Amino acid sequence: MKTIPKHYQIDIESITANHLEALCERYGLSDEQLISHALRLAEKDLVEFEARLAAAQMRYCDEAE
């Protein structure tokens, strides 16, 4: 397996921390508030995706009959 040369490696944790800090400052939220909001949005997106998937599966079953 190839390894990434050291000069191309990035520190994901510090990039994520810096991004989180910038978003907190932009929206005036604590990191806990921002993460909580992001989780609610992700859950909403997942529910919408599951509904679209179920509808597509029903259409597929109807077309197969």
Query: What pLDDT score was predicted for residue 16?
Result: 85
Average pLDDT, the chain: 87
> Position of tokens 């109807």?
62
Q: Which residue has the higher pLDDT, 52 or 60?
A: 52
Maximum alpha-carbon separation in the chain: 57
Amino acid, res. 31? D
Q: Report d(CA 20, CA 35) in Å as an integer.
A: 9
Task: Give pLDDT, residue 4.
Answer: 66
